[in-house]
Structure 1
Amino acid sequence: MTFRDDVRRGIAILADDLTSAGDGAAPFRRTGHDARILLTPPASLPRHAVGVTAVDLGSRMLDEEAAASSTRRAAGLFAGSELLFKTVDSTLRGHVAAEVRAAWAGSRRRAVVMAPAFPAEGRVTVEGVQYVRGVPVHESDYARDPAHPVRCSDLATLFPEAVLGRPDRADELPERIGNGDLIVCSAAEDSDLDRLVAAVPQLDEVLWVGSPGLAAALARRCARATGTAASQPAPARRPLVVVGSTNPATRRQLAELHGSGDVQGVTVGVDPAPAVQTLRGLTTPVLTLRTPDERHTPQTAQALARSQAAVVQALAEDHTVDALVITGGETATTVLQPLGATGIDLLDEPEPGVVRGSLTGRLPLPVLIKAGGFGDDAMLLRLCHLIRHPLDPGEHV
């Protein structure tokens, strides 16, 4: 499909997994824009592309060649957007270099401004090197990620063609954009990201690449004076917490949740039937469904993910549960597709790394989705309270 250069249609966010799509769109929702996540790439542009459209390309689960191809097609489809943002994980997991180059080629933008820092979560970029709470990402827990281990922290190694930018030299950005450069920007604070965004006169000349930190800076610059007010959802009677992430932070959060009182759950096996039967028989106000803690072969991990999705589908369709709290982007994608969901209408971002909304499709369930490595040990406890008592800011289940 061709797209006239003079047509500008909303803000588009291209993400490699579902949590990245939510993290990219949520700051714009907070600054007055309507926002929707699409769970799969569209074949053509949405008929009414207003506000923010975030697309989960699912490319982190593909091989590098397929990920690049999918990203390039999507960038071409949304090339006419007034703002085009390609998310990358703030710990550099996934096919970062291949996808950024593919998005640039598809977007037909003059230059790339890349700033992966997310200071609110301790992820900063110093002289082109990515750190997590003071540790280079390739030496952090993310180097041991079972699906996407991080091998390199140095963006200059990933992008030898790049030029490095610093917030104290933000005034050099217009010249570098004019040269058609790929610019990798260091940032240690939100104010650094604001300075970088403010230095670019025409946002639509650039393919923006970053994590929630840069998305928030762009959203602040593009804030709307008026927008659709966020209406509070009805309280959930019985939420199901679905944990597929093996990140240690998420496992600690689950343990804290179970230690709080009225919570029961099961560990899923390859056969979903026992988990369905057990969960249907429990009477606590919050249920949990987790994958086993131990590492598995890719084949077994996929079988467990399919089993987890079957359990969620059974409990949602018979109304045993009426809301979902999901950790991990790949888990969320696997779980939501069998429910017939086509997207998520975003409500807000209650905490960094968390999006809240409602599913679009045949089961319009309230949903909270949390990135696997985000949050303190009490985060799942707070999220369960939020979905059950949306008007009460307390922190107890």
Structure 2
Amino acid sequence: MQPSGLVVADDLTGATDTGHEFAARGLRTLVSARGKSTDADAGTDVRVVDTDSRYADPSDAAARVERAVGDDGYAFVYKKVDSTLRGNLVAEVDAALDATGADIALVAPASPRNGRTTVEGFHLVEGVPVAETDAGNDPERPVETSHLPTRFAASTFPVVRLAVNRVAAGAATVAADVEATAREGRTVVVADAAHERHLEAIAAGAARAECDVLYVGSAGLARYVETPSPAADGPPSVPRRERSVLCVVGSTNPATRAQVRALPDSSVVPLALETAVESPERASKDAAAACADRLSESGLAALVSAPDADAPNRAVEAGRRLGVDESTVRERVSESLAEAVRRLWRDCGDAPESLFVTGGAVAADAFEAVDAAGVLLTGESVEEGIPLGRIAGGLADGTPVVTKAGAFGTPGAIRKCAARLGGRDDFE
């Protein structure tokens, strides 16, 4: 059975939180890690592909999107973009518009429930222009402008703005404006949205419009996209019972660091950064052994790459002493985390019974380490944007898993995830 819907995301945590919006409506939703195919694809309603392209070369990112879209005739295609505008937005949206042959790319990256809004063309995070937030200091590709039309100025297609007064007028007005724009030729339409009702009107208007629309947004818009009725068996479940929990924390976001501080000190295993930069193999071996001890003692281990704000600087300084550039430092730290995961499933006797991962690239590396094809989502979330699923394929097949974007969640989010996975109130 061909999935009726396709979501194409540029990182794994974004893929899972967007896919969750479809699973929560009873659609069997499979997230394919790094575009891997699996036998489970044939039994799903919505396929979500992680192209792992946020920091790829723009031309490579575009090619990955084109391959992901292919020529399969989906009822809808949704291009997931980062809610803080990071990554290869323009190259990937242009590629998706070309690959689908749609008339309009309707772009609405807002997610008001998570504090992301677009007002008068400016994209804000908790009311702050996005270029003035952590996204503006992204170490690999900082967001240089908060103005969405300017962000898309390099598109090969004309760019127009759908103003908030038109969105607020409702679905019929949105549909009329989209149709009128489509008659002028293929176009990227960037939409204002400050409230959930705005996203609902955008999605409903796109469904009503007499033209082909490519949906482009974060998880927020996905919540309202109209879909065919479920045809597959529905999402899997994760019954509540006691399990051991491995947390792998690869994000350096301040929100994640606050969440780590809320964990029991006895559960935290800081990655030895200097060792990781010099020898990922040795660092992973030591980390896996320490995590195995914590899992045996208490059932909870949290392997953390950046327990404090200065950790990334210490890693970079270690790289300088060893003649290693910053990009390679980040790669070796991620490799150390992923290899520790592999060792825990392969070499440490009793494998962890559940997994929590934060940081999109680290999550993808962790899944690669256990040869997972992806995640089947349950439709349940621990907090807004933090979905629960089961690993599909590989050494950890069927293992309950929670993934989280670095910036998401309350200060107690990781503890809540551990409590849900582990079925233990004392974790929370």
Counterparts in 2 of 1:149-164, with a 5 A limit?
149-160=142-153, 161-164=158-161
* Aligned residue in 2 for 1:26: 20
Query: 1:223 offset after TM fit, Å?
Result: 7.2
Map of 1:1-397 to 2, 5 A cutoff? Answer: 9-41=3-35, 48=42, 50-78=44-72, 80-160=73-153, 161-170=158-167, 171=173, 172-179=177-184, 180-200=186-206, 201=208, 205-218=212-225, 221-222=226-227, 224=229, 228=234, 230-233=236-239, 235-258=241-264, 263-268=267-272, 269-270=275-276, 271=282, 272-282=284-294, 283-292=297-306, 293-295=311-313, 296=316, 297-317=326-346, 318-350=349-381, 351-362=383-394, 363-364=396-397, 365-389=399-423, 396-397=427-428
Compute the displacement of 1:323 (Å): 1.1
Pair 1:195–1:326, CA change in 2 (3 A): same
Structure 2 match to 1:3 = none
**Which residue identity does 2:24 align to in structure 1?**
R
* Secondary structure of residue in 2 paired with 1:148: coil
- Supply the distance in 1 between the matched residues of 2:390 and 2:85 (Cα, whole angstroms): 29
1:61 positional shift: 3.2
Higher share in helix: 2
Report the residue type matching 2:133 in the other structure: S
Where 1:103 maps in the other structure, the secondary structure is helix
Deviations 1:206-239 (A, max 9, x none): 1110001101121xx3374897265333535211
Call closer, same or farther: CA 1:133–1:152 in 2, change over 3 Å. Answer: same
User: Structure 1, residues 345-397: CA drift from partner, whole Å, max 9, x if none?
Assistant: 111241222121111113222110001100111111111111112xx8x6853
Q: Is the 8 A contact 1:27 1:349 kept in 2?
A: no
Could you tell which deviates more after superposition, 193-202 or 180-189? 193-202
Distance in 2 between the 1:37 and 1:252 partners? Answer: 28
**TM-score if structure 1 supplies the norm length?**
0.89
RMSD after superposition: 2.5
Given the superposition, is the C-alpha separation of residues 18 and 203 from structure 1 closer, same or farther in structure 2, using an over 3 Å criterion? Answer: farther
Measured against aligned partners, the alpha-carbon deviations of 1:274-303 in whole angstroms (never above 9, x if no partner) come to: 222222233122101011422331112111
Corresponding position of 2:319:
none
Contact 1:236 1:323 survives alignment (8 Å): no
User: Is the contact made by 1:114 and 1:182 (CA closer than 8 Å) also made in structure 2?
Assistant: yes
Unaligned runs of 5+ in 1: 1-6
Distance 1:18 1:376 in 2: 20
CA distance in 1, matches of 2:39, 2:365: 24
Q: What SS is found at the alignment partner of 1:60?
A: coil
SS for the counterpart of 1:33 is: coil
Paired with 2:412 and 2:371, the residues of 1 have a C-alpha distance of 31
| AA matched with 1:361 | G
Provide structure 2 residue ranges, at least 5 long, that are not aligned to the other structure: 168-172, 277-281, 317-325
Deviation at 1:178?
3.7
* Separation in 1, partners of 2:210, 2:36: 24
| 1:11/1:51 contact within 8 Å kept | yes
The 1-side partners of 2:242 and 2:345 are apart by: 13
Q: Secondary structure at the match of 2:66?
A: helix
Identity of aligned pairs, percent?
30
> Under a length normalisation based on structure 2, what TM-score does the superposition of the two structures give?
0.83
SS at 1:207's partner residue?
strand
